[in-house]
Structure formats: C-alpha cells, structure tokens
Amino acid sequence: MFSLITKEAKLGGSSTGSPKDIATMLDFAIKHDVHTWTNPRPLKDANQTIIDMEDGKARYRYVLVNEKHAAEEKQE
C-alpha cells in the first residue's frame, strides 16, 4: 500500500455486476434497441481528449477510436 501512495498511484473500479447480470443487460439493450450517446474521438487525439475532459468540455462519453476500425465501420 505504501509503495502505491509514494508513487501517487490511483486505483479505481466499478460494480458492473456478475457476468450473468451483464449478459441480461446486453440482451435487454438489444431487445429494446438501446443506444448510448457517445462522442467518438480519434486515438491520435487522446491527449487532447484528456485535456478537453479536464476542462469540462465533454458531452456524453468520449470514446477513443482506432482510425483504421472507424474507416471499416463507415464502409459497412
């Protein structure tokens, strides 16, 4: 614990539920056509994205997207 404190390391976690709970939630989202509100940002802009978040500019949830995969999704 002290080695983490001296390095000013931060730990975080979330309670998302059991694997069964997650599967139930995803099934519900599919069945009811639930979509999230996201703001995709290119992975190359990760540093600016962090700055924008710290400045309170984020609307919805920032999602870093690999440009190659983003291009593939647009073609589908």
pLDDT at 74: 64
Stated pTM of the model: 0.52
Structure tokens at 74: 């647009």
**pLDDT score of 63:** 92
Q: How many CA atoms lie within 13 A of 49 on its CB side?
A: 15
Question: pLDDT tens track of the chain, all 76 residues?
Answer: 777 778 878 777 777 888 899 999 999 999 999 998 999 999 999 999 999 999 999 988 999 999 887 666 666 5
Q: Which of 68, 35, 39 is nearest to 52 (CA)?
A: 39
